[in-house]
């Protein structure tokens, strides 16, 4: 009888657990995010790098985003705005920059180009950087070469600073850049991390732990001239739980549920829309 009672209670607890898990995963309510659209066809123009960099990082690439009539100017490598580098994360595509870049371009049109942003994006081969820490160092070093190349494109008017935007593990790559000896840290004034786990979601190998152990103690940077904004998606982000996106090292650390005129949780990909 004691054994039967134990089995009954265990089964009841397990059943309640499955019901709760199902409600959490499948019944999170209506997704209130709206997809962004562009009015002209998006183009991703490859930016050439030095031959030694290309040879060393064959699986990676640097691209500039453009639309419609702006594409020819981009192909001619003519830039005059504020450079922004988007760094994708775990399994992320270079094309994930499309929404941010398109909205920014449309706002520039509407403001008669009082100022505008030039968006660049990295192709990191859609590697699973949150599962295997062995790729993080290569991604970081390639991003350094990308930043140097982007700055070299501004021959006439060199920008005072540039912006780094990292999604998911791309945010950790953005933070890790500042530890590289040849990285021009003075050129970056703003780092935005989107759904970035500032602590590991899961530790799968020692290389991942070593990367976090090396990057995290550095922040905030000694210069204090870099503003860091960390934005998390909240409960609907089933990949990175809210607590991991909040960072006491960031100047602004917030969830989308607390952002004025947003007031809702978004999933791991919707945060890019």
- In 3-state terms, what secondary structure has residue 28? coil
Q: Residue 110: what pLDDT?
A: 77
Candidate list 102, 104, 168, 265, residue with the active-site label: 168
Overall pTM surpassing 0.85 (yes/no)? yes
Q: What is the spatial distance between Cα 19 and Cα 101, in angstroms, rounded to a whole number?
A: 41
CB 174 within 8 A of CB 164: yes
Q: How many CB atoms lie within 10 A of CB 117?
A: 18
Average pLDDT over residues 214-221: 88
In sequence order, what are the residues at sequence separation of 6 or more whose Cβ sits closer than 8 angstroms to the Cβ of residue 20? none
Residue 220: DSSP 8-state: S
Q: How far is residue 135's CA from residue 52's CA, in Å, rounded to a whole number?
A: 19
- Contact in structure between 226 and 240 (CB atoms under 8 Å): no
Q: pLDDT band for position 47 (50/70/90)?
A: very high
The DSSP element (H or E) to which 193 belongs, if any, is strand 188-194
Q: In what order do the strands lie in the sheet with 117-123?
A: 42-46, 61-67, 117-123, 82-87, 162-167, 188-194, 227-232, 252-255
- Does residue 253 carry a catalytic annotation? no
Separation of alpha carbons 4 and 10, rounded Å: 10
Find, among 209, 194, 7, the residue nearest to 92 by Cα: 194
Query: Residue 157: its pLDDT value, please?
Result: 80
pLDDT value at 177 more than 60:
yes
Give the residue among 165, 160, 164, 166 at the shortest CA–CA distance from 187.
160
pLDDT of residue 24: 54
- The b/e string for 66-99 (b: 16+ C-beta within 10 A; e otherwise) is bbeebbeebeeeebebbbbbbbbbbebebebbbb
In terms of Cβ atoms closer than 10 Å to its own Cβ (0-12, 13-18, 19+), residue 100 is buried
- Predicted pLDDT at 114: 74
**Whole-number percent of the chain with pLDDT over 90:** 59
How many Cα atoms are found within 13 Å in the side-chain-facing hemisphere of 223?
13
Token pair for 5: 């009672």
pLDDT in tens, 94-137: 999 999 999 888 888 777 767 889 999 999 999 999 999 999 99
Question: What does the alpha-carbon distance between residue 5 and residue 149 come to, in Å, rounded to a whole number?
Answer: 69
């Amino acid at each position: 009888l004691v054994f039967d009672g134990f089995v009954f209670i265990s089964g009841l607890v397990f059943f309640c657990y499955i019901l709760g898990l199902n409600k959490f995963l499948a019944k999170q309510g209506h997704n209130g995010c709206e997809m962004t659209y562009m009015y002209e066809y998006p183009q991703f123009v490859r930016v050439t790098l030095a031959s030694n960099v290309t040879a060393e990082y064959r699986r990676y690439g640097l691209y500039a985003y453009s639309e419609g009539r702006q594409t020819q100017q981009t192909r001619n490598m003519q830039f005059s705005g504020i450079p922004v580098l988007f760094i994708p994360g775990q399994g992320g595509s270079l094309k994930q920059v499309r929404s941010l870049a398109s909205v920014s371009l449309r706002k520039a049109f509407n403001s008669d180009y009082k100022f505008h942003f030039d968006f660049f994006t990295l192709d990191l081969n859609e590697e699973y950087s949150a599962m295997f820490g062995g790729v993080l160092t290569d991604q970081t070093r390639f991003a350094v070469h990308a930043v140097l190349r982007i700055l070299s494109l501004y021959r006439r008017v060199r920008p005072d600073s540039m912006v780094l935007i990292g999604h998911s593990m791309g945010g950790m790559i953005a933070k890790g850049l500042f530890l590289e000896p040849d990285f021009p840290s003075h050129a970056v004034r703003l780092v935005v991390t989107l759904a970035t786990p500032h602590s590991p979601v899961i530790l799968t190998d020692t290389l991942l732990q070593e990367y976090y152990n090396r990057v995290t103690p550095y922040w905030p940077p000694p210069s204090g001239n870099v503003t860091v904004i960390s934005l998390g998606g909240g409960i609907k982000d089933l990949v990175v739980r809210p607590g991991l996106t909040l960072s006491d090292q960031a100047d602004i650390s917030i969830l989308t549920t607390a952002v004025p005129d947003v007031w809702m949780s978004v999933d791991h990909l919707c945060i890019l829309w």
